[in-house]
Structure 1
Amino acid sequence: MMECGSGCGSAPPAFPPGRSARLRRPVRLRRSDGESPSFRAFARYSAGGPCLEGLPLRPPGCVSPPGGRFGFPLHRLSLTQGPSLMSSGPRPQAPTVAVTRPEEEGAGEDRLSQWLRREGMRPVSFPLMALAPPMSPGALNAAAKRLVGAVKRGELPPYAWIVITSRNVITPFLDAVERAGGSPQVLQAGGLHVAAVGQATATALEQAGLPADLIPTRYTAEDLLQALRERGALGAGRRILLPRAEVARDVLAEGVRELGGNIDVVTAYRVVEDHAGAEALCQAVRRERVQGVTLTSGRAACLLGATWADGGGGSWPRTVRVGVIGPVTAEATRKAGLRVDEIPEEATLPALARAMARTLGVSK
């Protein structure tokens, strides 16, 4: 005999005909003999009232109807993990979220994908951008050669600081240093200071053997500029090296110059548009194959908006939530004609993943 668990009422709970509610985790049925078989289940409305159905286990004493499912009136059962496990509608257990960041060769699963998975979502890669070497690496190679040459001669390095605003810069910069006959250890021995825009970039630098000396409290170019100013990096005779993407915001470089500092900007890599990825994502959105989209750059947002408009446009589906990394990307996303549903309080990938979990109603 199946026995009702704690908190069970005598009347069936309200449940509209024709709707279903799926449980997110296995639940247990409490039996009078003490056994509590687990099974994954969902609720449905039938002629006899709301019923709990499950698969694959059949509790002893229960007769399975054709098809291998079994059912009990909901008012005779309770969920020992609480009714909050039920969500109305056909939403899947793990919402699918599009990750639009460039795929890094040999880097394994994208870091944002890892955080989304930890928060209970299913990440799928739809890269809107791709990484490519600079058209002309001459300026990067020349800067690395000057830096390594001065250190090896025992002279003060031509740059007091190198500023890294993206982990995508690290490999091409250190490759240039190696071609010049240097290494991360040589740069450290020469007294070069390193600033990183955020903790993830700092971690990547440390793994590459070039730990950061400065990380701003907030991960934006504006805050990095302020942190450099407070550390005296903008004084007379002090020069900064900024290796970056070919196309990037000029906030940092212009800010350094406005404050009287000297800065050399060199191209370390290019970000090119991935039109095939944008078309595939728009198709997935229209076919309701994703429930969320993440954007971490304004340029990616512009490409997605243009591709969406070229494919017929129309309103972006309310069922597909859009999360962006920060206010700059949010502004570009809105200008591209797309809706912004979530902006995390801090511009980090873990915070973006948590924001997506919140807007999609995911609880771990």
Structure 2
Amino acid sequence: MTQTRPLHGKHILVTRAAHQAAAFVALLEQYGAQVTALPTIAVTDPVSWQPLDAALQRLREQKAGTARHYDWIFFTSANAVRFFLNRMAFHGDQSDLLAGLRVCAIGKATAGVVRDAGLEVDLVPAHFNAEGVVESFVAFHGGQVAGLRVLQPRARMAREVLGEALTALGVTLEVVEAYQTVRADLDPVLWQARLQSGAFDVVTFASPSAALQMAEAFPNIAPGALLAKTKVACIGPVTSQAVRDLGLDVAIEPPEATLPALAEAIAAYFASQPEALPPEEPTGT
């Protein structure tokens, strides 16, 4: 039975943050893959809580009816949801602090985390890139979005494309840092040898930051040389573009930017290439 699974004999490297990798690893293992986790990023508190705390204070004013600051809150990642809600809880705020706001969640996983917290989700864009989010948002309002006020808790140093697109339509966007992604600790000498040897059939990236931090972890070698013997799989077009900007080719990208779809796409890739054999495991590891 195991022999028939499409990823039997394939060795896949997962670069997700440690606290987020388990579910994706399990998906790949169900397809028969041997999976190694190499977190290239870690998710941690923001440089300062002050901007987020100030936004929470404005939400308290709005709840009390003394001011109106926001119409929407946009969550672009599960991490944004968790850090935002944890900070609310730290201050003793309840979920009703968001009463009266519409909630936009980018991606099914993000929407799931919002709903698990007992909040309703008003909008889950069909496409997860900036253009798709803006298109869904504009359609939701029948084309009339000028003057709307949006709060967006997000990672430090996140892409500005969505904000620029909303601002161009007359939306007032307030971005607050809710968390930051930093490079995880890894042994560059050990991992460079393994990666260059072709020990892995596929390396997966589920965010641009995971790819960027991997590249920065190995400053003495170009990403293309580091992964010359390894196929690259990306969760969606935004991540794929970041990977291509590093000089890498993307072999696998699912039609839907979700982890189950990525696992399925990797399995389908190898199922369509039965002649492909896994590389020999390096000795001495």
Report the TM-score when normalising by structure 2.
0.83
CA distance in 1, matches of 2:131, 2:101: 22
Secondary structure of 2:35 counterpart = strand
Residue in 1 that maps onto 2:101: 192
- How far off its partner does 1:219 sit? 1.9
Give the alignment partner of residue 149 of structure 1, picking from 46, 53, 61: 61
Residue in 2 that maps onto 1:289: 199
Residue in 2 that maps onto 1:103: 18
**Matching of residue 163 in structure 1 with residue 78 in structure 2:** no
Residue in 1 that maps onto 2:85: 174
Structure 1 residues 127 and 224 mapped into 2: Cα distance closer, same or farther (>3 Å)? same
CA distance in 2, matches of 1:95, 1:262: 48
**Matching of residue 354 in structure 1 with residue 269 in structure 2:** no
User: Any conservation in 1 of the 2:223–2:247 contact (CA below 8 Å)?
Assistant: no
**Matching of residue 252 in structure 1 with residue 167 in structure 2:** no
Give the alignment partner of residue 220 of structure 1, picking from 119, 126, 129: 129
In the TM superposition, 1:72-83 aligns within 5 A as none
Secondary structure of 2:158 counterpart = coil
Residue in 2 that maps onto 1:261: 171
Secondary structure of 1:240 counterpart = strand
Residue in 2 that maps onto 1:205: 114
**Matching of residue 137 in structure 1 with residue 45 in structure 2:** no
- How far off its partner does 1:314 sit? 7.2
User: Any conservation in 2 of the 1:305–1:333 contact (CA below 8 Å)?
Assistant: no
Q: Could you list the runs of 5+ residues in structure 1 that have no partner in the other structure?
A: 1-22, 26-84
- How far off its partner does 1:134 sit? 0.7
Structure 1 residues 176 and 314 mapped into 2: Cα distance closer, same or farther (>3 Å)? closer
- Flag the structure with more relative contact order, 1 or 2, with Cα contacts below 8 A and sequence separation at least 6: 2
Residue in 2 that maps onto 1:34: none
- How far off its partner does 1:316 sit? 5.2
Q: Could you list the runs of 5+ residues in structure 2 that have no partner in the other structure?
A: 274-285
RMSD: 2.9
Residue in 2 that maps onto 1:299: 209
Secondary structure of 1:360 counterpart = helix
- How far off its partner does 1:136 sit? 0.8
CA distance in 1, matches of 2:212, 2:102: 35
Structure 1 residues 304 and 278 mapped into 2: Cα distance closer, same or farther (>3 Å)? farther
- The one-letter code of the counterpart of 1:176 is R
CA distance in 1, matches of 2:272, 2:2: 10
Residue in 1 that maps onto 2:148: 238
Cα displacement string for residues 92-142 of structure 1 (whole angstroms, at most 9, x for unaligned residues): 9342211101122xx6x5332232223322322101111111111101011
Residue in 2 that maps onto 1:342: 252
Residue in 1 that maps onto 2:33: 121
CA distance in 1, matches of 2:194, 2:62: 53
Report the TM-score when normalising by structure 1.
0.67
User: Any conservation in 1 of the 2:233–2:266 contact (CA below 8 Å)?
Assistant: yes
- How far off its partner does 1:243 sit? 0.4
Q: Which has the higher helix share?
A: 2
- The one-letter code of the counterpart of 1:227 is S
Aligned identity (percent) is: 32
User: Any conservation in 2 of the 1:126–1:281 contact (CA below 8 Å)?
Assistant: no
- How far off its partner does 1:144 sit? 1.0
Structure 1 residues 234 and 177 mapped into 2: Cα distance closer, same or farther (>3 Å)? farther
Structure 1 residues 272 and 86 mapped into 2: Cα distance closer, same or farther (>3 Å)? closer
